[in-house]
Each structure stands twice: as C-alpha cells, then as structure tokens.
Chains A and B, each alone.
Chain A
C-alpha cells in the first residue's frame, strides 16, 4: 500500500488478556517506530527499529510490552496481561533509511481495556 497500515483499527479486550497490534510500514522504509497516545495526552515513545540493528526499547513501559519486526517489513506490538491503563491509541510510523528523514504515521490502533 501507499501508506503505513495498522490493524486492528479498534480493539476492545478484557483486563488480563493478551493483545497483538500489527504495523505494515511503507515499502522500503527501514526505520519503524511505535508510539502510544493516551486520551488527551501527547505521544509517548515506545520502541524504534532500524534495519537489522538492535531495537531501541527504552520507551517500553513494562515487561508486559514487547515488539518484533521481521527484517524491514511488518512489526507486531504485543501487550500481555492487559491493564486498564494500557487503554490508548497505539501509533506506528516509518521513515526511509537514515536519521532525520521524514516520518509517516499510520492511523493507529485504538485499544480499550475493560
């Protein structure tokens, strides 16, 4: 596709369940980012992938959060044993090779934990 694609667009789950969010970056983009945005708040960095380098996981809030990326394509963000405070929009972005290139965002996955 032409843009960054995220799925599901909406996910409602019960507390304690695991969820998996998917991001399909723009073809050829080697950098991929995950951000979280809670209602009425700013963007919170979660994790960054650049090519085959070790990811920057410094933003992951707890060990319940993990993310993987297969080569330079799809990424999945997994949240285990979800809590109500995990409710947020999870945004994925990609950019071409190199630091400082323009970032393109997907529409986000809205997660609601009941």
Chain B
C-alpha cells in the first residue's frame, strides 16, 4: 500500500525566504506526482504535475522535483510571499487513484 509522508507538517517563515517542502512515498510504481495547494475552506488547486518519466517541473516561483529511486519529491518556493500561505499537498497516482500526503501548512509572515 502506498504511504505518502510530508515533512514538515507546519512551517512558518518571514516573507522573502526560499523554502523547500518535502514529500516521500513508499511505492516507486507511480504514474505521476502532483502538488496542490489548499486554502482554508476551499478545494484543491493544482500547482504542478510531474509525469513519472520527468524529473522536475517549474511554474513561476515554484519548482517541483521527482526522484523515484529515493522515493522523494520536493516543492521549492522562491521568494515566498504572504499569499503563499496555505496547506500544500503532494499526491501520487499509482494504478488508479491519487494517494495524498497529509500536507504541510505554510504561513508566510509579512
């Protein structure tokens, strides 16, 4: 059974810092990795999708990497802003359904 762990569970940083969120998984038989953000009381917004044949994807200040051999993915956020405050979730697609991590709650202070 796929297990997905996100570290840290919570993170508080001042505005402008670069930061890294970590996600680890136990089953390397994945099709893709997807990072989401969730604002309080809202649904999930897709940030980045990495196919299993890829190693990273970039969108603006966000960069996500995937290392299947080590069972890890990282989300790098450059020059963090208060608007980045949210819960960040990683999810892996195995045979059919996405398996979600428990999330990292990020707070960026002005």
Is B46 in contact with A99, judged by CB distance below 8 angstroms? Answer: no
Given contacts A42-B102, A43-B100, A100-B51, contact A105 B45 (CB under 8 A): yes
Minimal beta-carbon separation of B43 from chain A (angstroms): 4
Is A45 in contact with B51, judged by CB distance below 8 angstroms? Answer: no
Inter-chain CA distance A34–B43, complex, in Å, is 12
Our pick among A42, A59, A91, A99 for the contact of B93 (Cβ within 8 Å) is A99
- Chain B, interface residues (CB within 8 Å), range: 20 to 34
Our pick among B36, B42, B95, B97 for the contact of A45 (Cβ within 8 Å) is B97
Which residues on the B side are within 8 Å of A104 (C-beta)? 46
Given contacts A99-B31, A103-B34, contact A50 B96 (CB under 8 A): yes
B 81-110 binary contact with A (CB < 8 Å = 1; else 0): 000000001010101111111110000000
Task: Confirm or deny: B44 has a beta carbon within 8 angstroms of a beta carbon on chain A.
Answer: yes
Chain A residue at smallest Cβ distance from B36: A105
Minimal beta-carbon separation of B7 from chain A (angstroms): 14
Is A105 in contact with B97, judged by CB distance below 8 angstroms? Answer: no
B 10-46 binary contact with A (CB < 8 Å = 1; else 0): 0000000000000000000001101010000111111
Which residues on the B side are within 8 Å of A35 (C-beta)? 100
Is B98 in contact with A42, judged by CB distance below 8 angstroms? Answer: no
Inter-chain CA distance A94–B99, complex, in Å, is 15
Is B96 in contact with A106, judged by CB distance below 8 angstroms? Answer: no
Task: Confirm or deny: A102 has a beta carbon within 8 angstroms of a beta carbon on chain B.
Answer: yes
Chain B residue at smallest Cβ distance from A106: B43
Pairs A–B under 8 Å by Cβ, sample size 6: A33-B97, A42-B89, A42-B100, A100-B51, A102-B34, A108-B42
Q: What are the 9 closest A-B residue pairs judged by CB atoms, nearest first?
A: A100-B31, A105-B44, A105-B43, A107-B43, A100-B32, A43-B100, A42-B102, A102-B49, A108-B43
